[in-house]
Amino acid sequence: MALDRPAPVNSLGFAKAPADTRVVVAMSGGVDSSVVAAMLADEGYDVVGVTLQLYDHGAALAKTGACCAGRDIHDAARVAETMGFPHYVLDYENVFKDAVIDEFADSYLGGATPVPCIRCNEQVKFKDLLGTARDLDADCMATGHYIQRKMGAQKAELHSAADAARDQSYFLFSTTQEQLDFLRFPLGHLASKDETRALAARYGLSVADKPDSQDICFVPNGDYASVIKKLRPEAADPGEIVDMDGNVLAQHNGVIHYTIGQRRGLGIGGLADPLYVVKLDPETRRVIVGPKEALSTRTIPVREINWLGDAPFDSQDAWELDVKIRSTRPPRAATIRPLSESSAEVELAVAEDGVSPGQACVFYAPEGGRILGGGWIHRG
- The Cα–Cα gap between 97 and 109 comes to 16
- Strands, E assignment, the chain: 22-26, 46-53, 87-91, 140-142, 147-151, 156-160, 183-184, 239-242, 248-252, 276-281, 286-290, 297-307, 319-324, 332-338, 344-352, 360-364, 370-377
145: closest CA among 166, 131, 128? 166
Tens of pLDDT along 45-70? 999 999 998 876 444 444 444 455 56
Tens of pLDDT along 135-174? 999 999 999 999 999 999 999 999 999 999 999 999 999 9
pTM reported for the whole predicted model = 0.88
Q: Cβ contacts of residue 113 below 8 Å, gap of 6+?
A: 107, 259, 260, 356, 357, 358, 359
Question: Could you list the pLDDT tens digit for every one of the 380 residues in the chain?
Answer: 455 666 789 999 999 999 999 999 999 999 999 999 999 999 999 999 999 988 764 444 444 444 555 688 899 999 999 999 999 999 888 888 888 888 888 887 777 778 888 888 888 888 889 999 999 999 999 999 999 999 999 999 999 999 999 999 999 999 999 999 999 999 999 989 999 999 999 999 999 888 887 667 777 677 777 888 888 887 778 999 999 999 999 999 888 888 888 888 887 876 778 899 988 888 888 999 999 999 999 999 999 999 999 999 999 999 999 999 988 889 999 999 999 999 999 999 999 987 888 899 999 999 989 999 999 998 75
Separation of CA 202 from chain center: 29
Residue 87, beta-bridge partner list: 49
Domains parsed from the chain with CATH numbers: 21-144+186-221 (3.40.50.620), 240-294 (2.30.30), 296-377 (2.40.30.10)
What residues act catalytically? 120, 217
